[in-house]
Amino acid sequence: MCQKMRSNRFVADTMKILHQLCEIEHEPKFIFITLTMKNVTAAELPTAIDQILYGFKKLVLNKVFTANVKGFIRSLEVTYNKERNDYHPHVHALLYVKHNYFNYHSQDYITHQRLLDTWKSMLGVDYDPWVDIRRVRNKETGEPDPKSAVPEVLKYAVKPSDMLISPEVLQTLMTALRRRNLIGYGGILKKIKRLLKIKDLEDKTADLAEPLPTTDCACKLCKGIIVEELYRWNVGKMCYQIDNEDKPPPPKSRGRPRTRNTH
């Protein structure tokens, strides 16, 4: 299934869900988390993916989660380490939290250490897995901005560059991710998804070629005009950048206009 089509479809569906949420809830607040585990070999990868997805399922039912989170969008990503010849499964999640969540003195507030301890327990390991938790903000303005986390949540399950390393790596990734639920929704975001009749990307009847919405509208999250952007992984710079593939090139400069003196 075409990675680009999946990404485009996921972006469009996710924005529909977030926009609908804004119609229901006033100024929703979000946090972004990343949950990891140790790198594993090719033979261990299928079991490791089972372990990390089951760990996230347990986390969703844990009091740390239920006391704060009203909905979430979760994605699974697997990266390949060429130097060590191993694989790194991890989870990204955009969490819609309660309005009073950012009361830092609350007993329910999730500190980094609290998330680490809870995830370690849910994952069932004897080491400290790397985790990250942060408020979703615009990097330039510092203001709350949920759409800033969308590129991370909407990452490909596998970076295209990893699939080109070797036939063996490609086969390992395809086998381990086959029939996996790479994207998950929960809470009110899952209810909105059902309300909008959005199909899972893994659904055979999902139409990935369906035209994406192009009508401009104002977003209640950022108060601006909604512009759909596609991000691609830049192998050289090792980061995600806005894709300008479908945008026409800027017109060539013809220099300053010449003038002619007349007498």
140-198 residue pLDDT tens? 666 666 566 565 566 544 454 555 567 888 889 889 988 888 888 999 999 999 999 98
The tens digit of pLDDT for each residue in 195-208 reads 999 877 655 554 54
The tens digit of pLDDT for each residue in 78-111 reads 988 989 999 999 999 999 999 889 887 788 899 9
The confidence band for 135, taking pLDDT boundaries of 50, 70 and 90, is confident
Residue 58 above 90 pLDDT? yes
27 domain residue, yes or no: yes
248 domain residue, yes or no: no
CB 34 within 8 A of CB 132: yes
Phi, psi of 97 (to 5 degrees): -105, 165
Locus of tokens 């485009």: 8
Tell me the CA end-to-end span of the chain in Å, nearest whole number. 70
Which H/E stretch holds residue 69?
A: strand 69-81
255 domain residue, yes or no: no
The tens digit of pLDDT for each residue in 213-257 reads 444 445 555 444 444 455 555 656 555 555 555 444 444 444 444
216 domain residue, yes or no: yes
256 domain residue, yes or no: no
254 domain residue, yes or no: no
Number of domains in the chain: 1
Count the neighbouring beta carbons within 10 Å of the beta carbon of residue 36. Answer: 17
228 domain residue, yes or no: yes
Please state whether the predicted TM-score (pTM) of the whole model is above 0.75: no
For CA atoms 97, 102, 103, 107, the dihedral sign is positive
Coil/strand/helix, residue 43: coil
**Exposure class string for 153-189: b at 16+ Cβ within 10 A, else e:** bbbbbbbeebbeeeeebeebbeebbeeeebbbbbbbb
CA–CA–CA angle 94, 61, 181 (5° rounding): 55
Q: Give the pLDDT score at 216.
A: 47
Q: Give the pLDDT score at 153.
A: 64
Of the candidates 171, 173, 195, the one whose C-alpha atom is nearest the C-alpha of residue 185 is 195
Q: Give the pLDDT score at 48.
A: 97
18 domain residue, yes or no: yes
- Would you state the torsion angle of the CA atoms of residues 166, 171, 176, 178, taken in this order, to the nearest 10 degrees? 130
What is the domain extent for residue 127? 3-242
Coil/strand/helix, residue 114: helix
CA distance 8 to 229: 9
